[in-house]
Amino acid sequence: SAVISQKPSRDICQRGTSLTIQCQVDSQVTMMFWYRQQPGQSLTLIATANQGSEATYESGFVIDKFPISRPNLTFSTLTVSNMSPEDSSIYLCSVEEVQTQYFGPGTRLLVL
Amino acid sequence: QKEVEQNSGPLSVPEGAIASLNCTYSDRGSQSFFWYRQYSGKSPELIMFIYSNGDKEDGRFTAQLNKASQYVSLLIRDSQPSDSATYLCAARSNDYKLSFGAGTTVTVRA
């Protein structure tokens, strides 16, 4: 399976600031996704990152809050904007390979 | 809304026993189903996937799918302390998206 890396692995941020999370894959993939996992919860899909076009957001998630870029088939970024303590979560990118999704190591975000 | 529900945990089993995890899904259009294992502080790791009705075995793990009943299960045979983790069931729909259950936490007692 593809090797997926994320940066940063963790961060502590002040409310009102923004953080950009990077996801890098070692091979070209068509489908990339961003998930959020709040403390003690399961995974919730934020959006599908589409190469060359705008991301497709799930209900409850908006582009102004979670802008996503996908400049090529191996890289994507998710920005968490104007953060509040409720944004404290693990953010995970995933890629689809052979009809199966594999996850990156995640970014652990704490907003104070 | 596409819902995936898992049997509530936590599930505690003695070492060497069988751990049985259950999952139901609401979207009849779901095509394939996945079991992920997530250790505390780590990201989900794929254990097994299943597309067809029946059983699929991989080492100590067996996944079972019954599309008529909209039911998926995972059996872990000869449970080991290293199997202690949260197990996530996911259903994949035609639009490639995964819907996850809340997870079942398994503890294997030595």
Tell me the average confidence (pLDDT) per consecutive run of 10 residues in chain A, 112 residues long: 94 98 96 94 93 91 97 96 97 93 96 97
Chain A positions touching B44 (Cβ under 8 A) are 43, 92, 103
Residues of A with CB under 8 A from a CB of B: 1, 31, 33, 41-45, 48, 90, 92, 96, 99-106
Residues of chain B with pLDDT under 70: 1
Q: How far is Cα B109 from Cα B16, in angstroms, rounded to an integer?
A: 9
Which of B36, B72, B35 lies closest to B52, judged by CA?
Answer: B72
- Across the interface, of B49, B88, B92, the residue whose CB is closest to A42 is B88
Q: What are the tens digits of pLDDT across the range B23-54?
A: 999 999 898 999 999 999 999 999 999 999 99
Locate the DSSP E strands across B1-110: 4-6, 11-14, 19-25, 32-38, 45-50, 54-58, 61-66, 71-76, 85-92, 98-100, 104-109
pLDDT the model gives residue B76? 98
CA angle A94, A98, A99 (to 5 degrees): 70
- Give the integer Cα–Cα distance in Å for B106 and A3: 27
* Residues of B whose CB is below 8 A from A101: 34, 46, 90, 92, 98
Residue A67, classed as helix, strand or coil, is coil
Cβ–Cβ of B103/A42 closer than 8 Å? yes
What tokens does A49 get? 């990152």
Instruction: Identify residue A72 by its one-letter amino acid code.
Output: N
Of B4, B23, B43, which to mutate for an interface test with A (greatest number of A Cβ within 10 Å)?
B43
Residues 6+ apart with CB under 8 A from B95: none
Question: B5 touching A, CB under 8 A?
Answer: no
H helix intervals, A1-104: none
The most distant pair of C-alpha atoms in chain A lies apart, rounded to whole Å, by: 40
Residues whose CB falls within 8 Å of the CB of residue A55, separated by 6 or more in sequence, listed in order: A34, A47, A48, A49, A63, A68, A70
Residue B60: what pLDDT? 97
Alpha-carbon distances, residue A43 vs A4, A73, B4, B103 (angstroms): 18, 23, 12, 9
Q: B88 in contact with A at a CB cutoff of 8 Å?
A: yes
Which residues of chain B make contact with A102, given a CB cutoff of 8 A?
A: 46
The predicted structure's pLDDT at residue B1 = 61
What residues does B98 pair with on adjacent strands?
B92
